[in-house]
Chains A and B, each alone.
Chain A
Amino acid sequence: MFRDAALVCGKDLRIEVRSRVTLNQVVPFAAVVVILFGLALGPDRKVLAPAAAGLFWVAVLLSAVLAVQRSFAVESADDAREGLRLSGLDPAGIFLGKVAAVLAELLVLEAVLTFAVALLYGAHLQQAGLLGASAILATIGLAAIGILYGAVSSGLRVRETLLPLLFLPIAAPVLLAATKSWDISLSGGDGGAGTWLTVLGVFAILYVAIGTLAFGPLLEDR
């Protein structure tokens, strides 16, 4: 399973390196979202800084939709998805590989966005350990949910509109916990951070486990 996951992850990242869709489209999209939030709320950093964590994670959430759609778009061109079924790869390995590839892409995006938020909103980047741990756990959860629901919606004619509809409500708890955790970190506090990290960890484990079990039947059901 883990060998298959590494194979799929490597393939997806190689395709990303060639096509540069995340770099040239998803990262600029996320940056535009952050700038638009800034324009909507005004230039006052006393307003922007306290909202930085929430705005950051909303931008990540919207970008995750694009990253997941791209992850399945590479499989729909020339029926490569059918090729994936024929390949004999373990479906759980395919799921984990796709999650790992989206995770890597989103972590790069988050690194860029973190500096954008610090620059534009005046957010103080403190407690790097807490920020990093929250980001990794939240992104694992988002990637797992995204790939799971991406498999549900891929192959359907309405997949472009169905994925956000399925993904965003389910990802809301992750958004909430990640925002709370980052709020605590950016404000320099430490009260309750452990609780929110635990929530993020539980969601990450839960959705990775569900996806590992459910991806096979989802891949078959076409």
Chain B
Amino acid sequence: MAPAAPAVRLRETVVLADRFPLLSGMTLEVSEGEIVHLGGPNGAGKTSLLRLCAGLLAPSSGEAEVLGLDLTRTDERRRLRREIGLLGHSSFLYGDLSPRENLTFALKAAGLDTGEARARTEAALDRMGITGRLATTPVVKLSAGQRRRTAIGVLVGRQPRLWLLDEPHAGLDQASRDLLDALVRATREAGSTVVFSSHEVGRAQAIADRVIELVGGQEVRRASPPAGNGTGGSGTGARRDAMTMGSARVP
């Protein structure tokens, strides 16, 4: 049987913003079902890499494919956005709407019919502990952690093939962090791929199959997670040599 196409495949990918390089010459592959942790200092290009994989940035040169879609093409970047879930620094939520309304809107926007959207909304809110009065309170009145949990709930409801998480642990309490880690593992068990950045190295390495260290403008180092990780991924060790070299910067 032919091996599955990688979820993410970048080759000498350059991303420019007003001629300033956000990513310069990035080469990497992420296999389907893999959990990859992006490490590195601030400004290393982690957010830019995640935004590229989400179809929000276009490559200026090089090759870039995510879930088999060519990121150099505008129409394919738009199609890709229905397949991925991005948790960014912002929550992408409407402050005047409740978590329930935000989730229902996001799920309907993703193409679900009303009945399915409502069912998944309730399940996701329940999973994230946004229940009772919290579920109907305008998001603007929620704490930062509750907003973050609501934003994660959108991803839980959408069930994307590729999860892109930018500092997902930020702003969460201990219980919510544990819940998030369990979600990431469950996501992989369901066959989805997860690429995430986190400065919480210990926690991140505990759930990652592979660690990619981005170092601003200089080099990309590969690192192995501690022994015993990546049990659910397929062939994680064999895939480590797929990523070669690249450099990245953010303004």
| B46-79 vs A, Cβ < 8 Å mask (1 yes, 0 no) | 0000000010100000000000000000100010
A132 in the interface, Cβ–Cβ < 8 Å? no
A46 in the interface, Cβ–Cβ < 8 Å? no
A190 in the interface, Cβ–Cβ < 8 Å? no
Do B109 and A7 have beta carbons less than 8 Å apart? yes
B95 in the interface, Cβ–Cβ < 8 Å? yes
A18 in the interface, Cβ–Cβ < 8 Å? yes
Do B74 and A220 have beta carbons less than 8 Å apart? yes
Q: Closest CB of chain B to A182's CB: distance in Å?
A: 34
B96 in the interface, Cβ–Cβ < 8 Å? yes
Please give the number of chain A residues whose Cβ is less than 8 angstroms from any Cβ of chain B in the complex: 21
Q: Closest CB of chain B to A8's CB: distance in Å?
A: 8
Contact of B81 among A15, A19, A80, A88 (CB under 8 A): A88
Q: A14-B97, A18-B96 are in contact. Are A86 and B90 (CB under 8 A)?
A: no
| Cα(A220)–Cα(B65), bound, Å | 18
| Cα(A89)–Cα(B112), bound, Å | 12
Q: A79-B88, A79-B90 are in contact. Are A87 and B109 (CB under 8 A)?
A: yes
Closest to B138 in A: A18
Contact of B78 among A7, A77, A82, A88 (CB under 8 A): A88
Interface residues of A in 1-21 (CB under 8 A from B): 4, 7, 11, 14-15, 18-19
User: What is the total of A-B residue contacts with beta carbons within 8 Å?
Assistant: 63
A74 in the interface, Cβ–Cβ < 8 Å? yes
Report chain A residues within 8 Å CB of B88.
Answer: 79, 82
A85 in the interface, Cβ–Cβ < 8 Å? yes
Closest to B139 in A: A78
Do A78 and B101 have beta carbons less than 8 Å apart? no
Please give the number of chain B residues whose Cβ is less than 8 angstroms from any Cβ of chain A in the complex: 25
Report chain B residues within 8 Å CB of A194.
Answer: none
A83 in the interface, Cβ–Cβ < 8 Å? yes
B111 in the interface, Cβ–Cβ < 8 Å? yes
Report chain A residues within 8 Å CB of B56.
Answer: 82, 85-86
Q: Closest CB of chain A to B52's CB: distance in Å?
A: 13
Q: A7-B109, A89-B109 are in contact. Are A15 and B54 (CB under 8 A)?
A: no
Q: Closest CB of chain A to B72's CB: distance in Å?
A: 13
Contact of A83 among B74, B92, B138 (CB under 8 A): B92
Do A86 and B95 have beta carbons less than 8 Å apart? no
| Cα(A83)–Cα(B56), bound, Å | 10
Do A83 and B81 have beta carbons less than 8 Å apart? no
Q: Closest CB of chain A to B66's CB: distance in Å?
A: 13
**Extra contacts besides A15-B97, A80-B94, A88-B81 (13): CB < 8 Å:** A4-B109, A7-B109, A11-B94, A11-B105, A78-B93, A78-B95, A79-B88, A80-B92, A82-B90, A83-B106, A86-B54, A86-B92, A88-B78
Q: Which residues of A contact B (CB under 8 A)?
A: 4, 7, 11, 14-15, 18-19, 74, 77-80, 82-83, 85-89, 216, 220
10 residue pairs A–B, Cβ–Cβ below 8 Å: A4-B109, A14-B96, A15-B94, A15-B97, A18-B138, A77-B94, A79-B88, A79-B91, A85-B56, A86-B56
Q: Which residues of B contact A (CB under 8 A)?
A: 54, 56, 74, 78, 81-82, 84, 86, 88, 90-97, 101, 105-106, 108-111, 138
